[in-house]
Amino acid sequence: MDALDVFYRVRHQWPEFEALMAKLRYVFASGSHCEALASVHSQRSYVMNHHGHRPPGREETGGMVGSVTTRAEALELCSRHQPELLITTDQLEDGDGLELVREAHQRWPGLPILLVMKTVSMPRLRLALRSGSQGVLTDALVLEGNVYAALQTLLAGGRYLDPNLSQLLEQNAMGWDPQLSGKQLQILQAVVHGLSDRQIAEALELPYDTVRYHLKQAYRELGTTNRSHAALLLVQQGLLAPPSPPRKAWNGAQFLDHSPG
């Protein structure tokens, strides 16, 4: 993602978005320390720029109750401050964001919850929709104007689902079941992990042209011409595992059992 390009495309929404967030009493939970700190900095900058100097303390960040990285911290803040909104990612430093959503919804049924999914698969998407989140976004489109639209919908008492996720649910409801061979899934799993076609051929001990052939056949079945898009579709469907942490070395055996099920 080119963050500058995104900024220039959605900058007309920033004043309204920042004004909305400055008035809300909310908790933000993310597994990323950078995201947690950036959210605090953004709120403080807006409040200080529009309301002048304020004494050091929590009032510098407007209505923000806290920006944390663990499930326990988020629940403690919600219990202590009774916020108007909870925003969380599905991946946290300690604890699962979906479990946070479920517990928060059970304790405070009227609390609007916006969930940002870093990894998407059909099982986790279904779980997210059952857990009590009124809004669900994918991380890939979080800055494309979806957050502001989602918040407006949630605060008006409605529900919001990322358009990409709506399409995924529709495809699944229609019984979309790509007919891919085990070898094609194995190769596409390697794509998910970031290997080039030549690296895949070497790791799986296949001729380079054979790898290319399997990928072209998979593209035809999936209705795409892009390797990244093909891999993303299968991860979203839960047919492939999401990317794992980098490893020092890869070999063919490491790809044999990565596909879910």
Distance CA 66, CA 56 (A): 15
For residue 113, CA distances in Å to 33, 61, 108, 156, 183 come to: 20, 20, 10, 13, 40
**Lowest mean pLDDT segment, chosen from 12-21, 169-178, 203-212:** 169-178
Task: List the Cα angle 60/114/194 in 5-degree steps.
Answer: 105
Which whole number is the average pLDDT over 120-130? Answer: 76
Write down the residue that tokens 């055996």 correspond to.
Answer: 253
**pLDDT exceeds cutoff 80 at 85:** yes
Percent of the chain scoring above 90 in pLDDT:
35
Nearest to 236 by CA among 140, 143, 147, 144: 140
Q: Can you point out the beta strands (E) in the chain?
A: 26-29, 64-68, 85-89, 113-117, 135-138, 160-161
Give the residue, 118 or 256, on which the prediction is more confident.
118
Query: From the CB of residue 7, how many other CB atoms can be counted at a distance below 10 Å?
Result: 11
Give the residue, 207 or 62, on which the prediction is more confident.
207
Locate all alpha helices (DSSP H) within 162-252, ordered by sequence. 163-173, 182-192, 197-204, 208-222, 227-236
Which whole number is the average pLDDT over 120-128? Answer: 74
Query: From the CB of residue 111, how many other CB atoms can be counted at a distance below 10 Å?
Result: 18
Distance CA 113, CA 101 (A): 7
**Mean model confidence pLDDT for the chain:** 81
Give yes or no for a contact between 47 and 22, defined as CB atoms under 8 angstroms apart: yes
Q: What is the pLDDT of residues 34-84, one digit of tens each?
A: 988 888 888 878 777 776 655 555 566 668 899 999 999 999 999 999 999
pTM above 0.75, yes or no: no
Nearest to 88 by CA among 116, 111, 67: 116
Q: Helix, strand or coil for residue 55?
A: coil
CA 59 to centroid of chain Cα atoms: 29
Give yes or no for a contact between 88 and 115, defined as CB atoms under 8 angstroms apart: yes
Distance CA 140, CA 236 (A): 12
Q: So what's the pLDDT on residue 81?
A: 94
Which pLDDT band, with edges at 50, 70 and 90, does 253 fall under?
Answer: very low
